[in-house]
Amino acid sequence: MLSTLYPFAKKCLFRLSPERAHCLTLAALRACERLKLLGAMAGKPEEDPIELWGLRFPNRVGLAAGMDKDADTVDAFGRLGFGFIEAGTLTPRPQPGNPKPRLFRLISRRAFINRMGFNNEGVEEGVANIRRSSSFRGIIGVNIGKNKVTPNDEAVSDYLACMRAAWEVADYIAVNFSSPNTPGLRDLQQADAAARLLAGLKAEQANLASETGRNVPLLMKVAPDMEYPQIRDLSRVFLDGGLDGLIAANTTLSRSGVEDHACGHEDGGLSGAPLTRRAVETLQAFAAELGGQIPIIGVGGIMSPEDAVARIKAGAKLVQLYTGFVYGGPQLVSDCVKRLRTECPAVKGGQA
């Protein structure tokens, strides 16, 4: 039913400003979930189970960070067929993000430009929302970042605070140090800074695992705008530092493919179809350097089932949707799961 309703809903929502449409969509999803309507409309989620990091994912298609910023729509998104949901980005303290307007549609290019700036209600509220979720049986990742006012030389304290707060509710924790919308954040991707950040996080991961008796995998999300030497150096940092997983890639500062669009000059990260090739190339480069030792989640410009298949064949174990989900609707989730199950079957036993 949702696949039939979504084209009409999208037509109406696209008449609104992008951020207003986003807020209304999440509110509607939550309301339908509370009224127990969403499950009936969405149908049974497609399954394609796989085990990774000791976690069992119901399928390999997840919701990327940035859609459910405060983790208050987890159950509703779960009804739409995602095998895992990455909430956030959450910061230690609430922050409003950048001034509006800060989200722009490029409909003819199937793309968005955003400069949201980690707007969220803070990690404590996000964790409380996850605790309140009840029906989602998939994997929940918590994407964490630093507050805008925190200088880079103190950034590790923000990430550690978020890690501690999210530890008990997160199935995995994703470190966002690659958003283009927090000034200076991408400087943390320089090898020395990344090594210091990773060392601090891994030490705290070990402490928390010892204290709580549960281990939470640590992933880091990288940008698609790096040249090969930086990819090579970061890969060595990740291998030496014992990183559990990588997410490739975030939005791009490139305007290739949208230079002539009316919104092409807007500041922020570009997502959607114009990012597809760049994200694949970034994934392939990291996969080659990591040699299968660190599992990768492929994200960025996955607009079709064929794009999802291409990420797995390029070296990813899982994929995530965001902009493609907005343009394609819930049907894209099930289509991707089915295509991956057919063309890229998990090895026997569901092990990645």
Query: Please, are residues 207 and 234 in contact by the beta-carbon 8 Å criterion?
Result: no
DSSP H stretches of helix in 80-145: 123-132
* Maximum separation of any 2 CA atoms in the chain, in Å: 55
Q: Is 275 helix (H, G, I), strand (E, B) or coil?
A: helix
Q: Which two tokens stand for residue 341?
A: 């199950």
Residue 213's Cβ-count burial label (10 Å; 0-12, 13-18, 19+) is exposed
φ, ψ for residue 139, nearest 5 deg: -95, 135
Strand-strand pairing, 61-63 and 318-321: parallel
DSSP alpha helix (H) spans, 213-252:
228-241
Sequence-ordered alpha helix ranges (H) in 86-137: 123-132
Which of these is catalytic: 3, 157, 178, 179?
Answer: 179
Lookup: tokens for 124: 């404590």
Which positions ≥6 away from 111 have C-beta within 8 Å?
A: 105, 257, 258, 270, 271, 272, 273, 274, 275, 323
In degrees, to the nearest 5, what angle opens at C-alpha 74 toward C-alphas 44 and 276? Answer: 85
Which residues sit opposite 62 in a β-bridge?
84, 320
179 is catalytic: yes
Task: Please report, for residues 110, 126, 309, 314, the alpha-carbon distance to residue 287 in angstroms, rounded to integers and kept in the order given.
Answer: 27, 32, 15, 8
What does residue 153 show for φ and ψ, rounded to 5 degrees? -75, -5
Which DSSP helix (H) or strand (E) runs through 116? Answer: none
Residue 255, SS3 per DSSP: coil
Q: Dihedral of CA 72/73/75/78: which sign?
A: negative
CA–CA distance, 314 with 327 (Å, rounded to integer): 24
Which residue numbers are catalytic? 179
